[in-house]
Structures are given as structure tokens and as C-alpha cells.
Structure 1
Amino acid sequence: MEEMSEKFLIRFRCLNLLLLCLVYHSGNTSKPVSGKKGGNVTLTCEHEANNIVHIDLISESGETDVCQDEECSGRVFKEGNCDVVIKNLIFSDAGKYILRIYYNNQTELERLIRTYQLHIHDEITVKIGKPLKLHVLWANADKVETNSSGEWKEVWKKGHGVWSDRMNDTDGNLTIKAFLASDAGSYRVLDSEGEILITVTITESEKQSTEKLDDTEQHKNWIVPVVVCLVILVVLIVISVIIWRRRHRGYEQGRVQENPEPPQELEEL
């Protein structure tokens, strides 16, 4: 009995993957959905009937367990009739999804299929000269592009790696060894079909500029008191010299008035 259950489970999973491949390559248009990393996204089923029996959610990594309400411990849960919410988004969530909806149509069990293309975006700031690690090179990533130069340019390709010696890729990370102002911009990850999986917008940290301004302001604040002290010192020195000269002149005049007659020895001569 257990062997039959295992065989059934294997067949069921194989059918799910086969269905996923058929949907991917059948030309069926996926509904684009987008969410911010760490946030939530809703895959709407657009089916208002209350006679839904079961729903399945399938991605490239396999079938995803869907909790029946938000109180479940998992990140994926059903909302309303058949909408599916994925919360606390991470980059590895990006990609294609198939939502299968089973519902009763009078006496028959019917099935609806909805497909989605989930795009995840994020924004980060980096200090100049610091290494930047982007954890974006997942299994479904085919290439990475950036518009930091004003137009989209490929910086990484599956099977080739990075196109610049300023970057490297290890353990699913695309790393810029030392961030420069020219590296700022958007980086997007695309799958083999050209669908955008992840977009990361990178800006230069304003903290560095603020620190420079603070240093300049502190420099100014240090210079002003020194200049004021020097001016006061010069003024005091000038005043002291003037006072000394006046006193010295008064002293000389006093001596002349005390001895107006020449010495007697000079008179006799």
C-alpha cells in the first residue's frame, strides 16, 4: 500500500512538472505581478464562485503548499475564494507560477488554470569603495543587465560568468568588488525567455556626502574662532605698543623739563 502511495505521489509530481512545461511553452500569456522584497504579493484567481474544491500552486521548484488561511505558519496562504498570497518575498520567489483551481460545476468537477510571472524589486544604497553583494543568481537566472551607463548592458551570463574584472559570481551572488559612483543604477535579472525576474535599484549612499559636509562645516567652525583670536591678539599688541610709546614719550619730556639748564662744566668751558 505504501509503495502504491509513493508511486502515485511521484506520478502526480511528474504530471505537475509536465503541466508546468506545457504552459511555459504553449504561448499562454502569463499575468505579470510585482512585489517588493520583504513585502507581499497576491495572485488573483478571478473566479468568484463559492463552489471551489481545491487549489494547487506550482512553480519551477515544484508544488507549493498553500495554507487555507493567513493564520498558517507558511508564507503562502489562500485569501478569499481562491486568491493566493505570498508574503515576506525573497528573490528566489521570482518566476512563473501556475494556479490550478478545481470547482464543482453542477455534477462535474471543472478546472481553471491561471499563470503568473512574478517580478520582485528592491532598492539599496551603497558607500563608495565598499563591496556590493547581490544575491540574485538563482537557478532560473539566465543573464543580468544594468543601465548604469545610460543603456541596458549585459554584465553576467549563465555559462559565461561576469563580463568585468571588477565583478565576480560565487554561491549565487553577483558581487561588485569596490562600488563606484558609475555603478549606480538598476540591475535586472532575466530568465531564458527574456522575462524580468528581479530588479535592484542601487544608489550611492548620501551618508558619505553628509560626512564630507560635516567635515567642511567643522573645519569652518574651527577656522573662525582662530581668526577672531588672531585679530584680537593683533589689536591688543597694537594698543600695547601705542600705550608704551606714549608713556615713553611722556617720560622723556618729563626729564627734559626737570633739567632745562645745561651742566655747569659746559658753561665754564
Structure 2
Amino acid sequence: MDRTYWISVYLILGHGICVGSSPHSSVIYTSSKVGLPAVLPCTVTSRLESSYTPHIQWQTIHDSVFERMGEKLFQGEDYKGRVDIPEEMLVRGNCSLFLQDVQFSDAGIYESYLVVDESSIKSRIFIQSVQLAVIDHKSIKSVETGGELILDLFTHQAKQVIFQNSNDTSWTVLWKRGKVTNRKHHLTERDDRLLLRRVTASSAGTYKVLDSQGLALSTVKVSVREPMPSREGSFQKNHSPLGEATMNMPPLMLMIFFLTFHSVLLLI
């Protein structure tokens, strides 16, 4: 829907809209990790008539976020391509706002309104306040020496990765979007992930994925361990009744050894 059309509607009807106040007692709290989807709950089932097409508005204190009336919709400038209320859900009274690729700047209070016509006056009926908290990702990983470490970028908001060795206090830039800056760590970018191949003891430390503002989208603490010995090889080595001495015998000597060993067992 053309944004200019909606701006015109707001200007024309600006003097004929009654705005309902939002009660503080009805705030719903929800959260999402940065880069993931979020759902801001809302329902108007009890206020809809069977033949009524709902006209729903979502806004923050400062911005218009989303508006839908049938097939017509409007998305706020900072939410282009990221917000929606599916029409098939809205006609059933579900006015929940679906927000994709959540950003730190999305945190705050959102309010939903039902716009209704009463003769020549449009009025807005307050539905729900939702407070959205946006949090970063945190994890701990353990990787074997020579193995592969996978770092999730989660979102296109990721601009660089920095690293601090366990025995150091300084940070090193390992990766910038579109450019590998440190080949020592064998970084490979693939499907919103970074692969660190041939991990060594010096790979242990803290990895941070940062956005364009330098905020940490994720923090990963990595430890490096030595590979575990093979259980099968260990069993054969420790429990072979003949021991390692038989492994290097010539075939004739090995046959004599087994015949002698068998004879001794028969005499016991």
C-alpha cells in the first residue's frame, strides 16, 4: 500500500478521530533474542461482527509501526518488510503483530488499536499494550583440538566478529562482513555462520558478534580440549590376552606359540 495514501488519510481524518487512552494495567511483557522473530499478542474476537473487516493499528510512543484494513496495509519506515498481521488471522480476530529479524532498537512499548466508524467520526479503541525486550545470545562451547568451531551470526545485522584469547586482555577483529581479515584462524563464511577450522589451543577464548553500532549480538565462550582416545583401541591394547609381544612375531613362530599356549591350557 502506498504510504502517501495513508499519510493523506491521517491528515484528512485527523480532526475526526477519537483516541482511546491506554490503561497501564494491561501491559503484556514479552521478549525475543536479537535476529529472531517476535510475536506481540493481540485479540479483538469479542468486538468483531461477522461481516466486519477489522481496521487495526500498531504504534509505539514515537512511531507508526503497522496498519491493516483488509488487503490495504502500511508499514512504518523502520519496520519495512519486517512486520505483518496475516489477513486470514485478522478476520478471525487475531490482531497479533509478527515482527521479523528483531533489532535492539525495536525494544519498547507497542500499542494496538481497533479503528471503528461511528457515523461521520472515526474512533480508535485501545486493545493492548505490549512491552518488548530484546536480548543478546550467550553460549558456551567446547571443541576438540583439530576440530571445527561454528559461530552463528543469526542476522544480517552482524557486521564483525572480535576475539579475546583466554590469556590476553586485548580484542582482535577476526571477520568483517564481506571480508576475511585474519586467515590465521581459517575463517569461512557460510549461510549466516562462520566456520573456524583446525582449532588449536590458542583458539580458546571469547568470541563476540557485533552489529554496526558495536553492540554484541552474541557472546560465545570457547574452551579447547584434547581428543579422547579410541575406546576400541584402548580395549584391545589393555585386554588382549596375548599382549603386544605376539603382534610382531613371524608367522612360523606365531603358530608354534599358539600351539604351545593351547597345550598348556589343556594341561591346566
TM-score, with structure 2 as normaliser: 0.46
Structure 1 or 2: larger strand share? Answer: 2
Of structures 1 and 2, the one with the larger relative CO (CA 8 A, separation 6+) is 2
Indicate the structure (1 or 2) with the bigger Cα radius of gyration.
1
